[in-house]
Amino acid sequence: MNPAIPSQRPRLALFDLDHTLIPMDSDHGWGEFAIAIGWCDRTEFGRRNDEFFAHYQAGTLNVPDYVRFATEAIVQRGAAAAQAAHQRFMQEVITPAILPQAQALVRAHQQAGDLVVITSATNEFVTRPIAAAFGVQELLSTELERDATGWFTGGVQGVPNMREGKVVRMDAWLAARGLSWEGVESTFYSDSMNDLPLLERVNHPVATNPEPRLRAIAQERGWRVLDLFTENP
């Protein structure tokens, strides 16, 4: 597979993370892991985690409410304990979910000289080590507010990186580098209807392991459809 697109302009390869590069939702997975290590009550936290995930899938998620809920345990436990737990999460949950075909796709863009960015609605605490595992330095995610000590408060900093917010954040990322949408050849891989605004913004949208609604739109509009995984739980 050679994803490179001949162009004199800089090439930008954007990747959603959950269900696109990994066949799972890392945010929901972190919640399940927090339950497993005894940081959260299984019954109540599990119920609310599933409820928030259903809202995400439906495009109705209240991001600040969810982030406050999802980060409560790490805020309370502190940096050292939270980072140690995330290392376990990477080893036990995420690393087995990083499949060769996803790594190869990212690597192909990197080797072609493309600017590679992972753009995820999931918060920075969960996603930054995952982006690093893919060898991607440029990450746009939902940023977390920090207190005077530098630790998380449970709030959201700036524009949540979700739905139209992904376009806003990419606009700012491009502008900070002296680039514009008109000046780059852009490709975006995503599975989710939540990412339709950014898929519609790039030159080359790729519906990747798409949910049924997005698959139907991609087929109707003649977008490329890429199934990286035989299963996408």
Q: Which residues are catalytic?
A: 16, 18
Extract the tokens encoding 166.
Answer: 């992904």
- What torsion, rounded to 10 degrees, do the Cα atoms 85, 88, 94, 100 define? 150
Q: What is the DSSP letter of 139?
A: E
Q: How many CB atoms lie within 10 A of CB 92?
A: 12
**Per-residue three-class SS string for 174-224:** HHHCCCCHHHCEEEEEECCHHHHHHHHHCCEEEEECCCHHHHHHHHHHCCE
Contact 222, 203 (CB under 8 A): no
225-230 long-range contacts, CB within 8 A, separation 24+:
226/189, 228/20, 228/21, 228/99, 228/101, 228/102, 228/105, 229/23, 229/99, 229/101
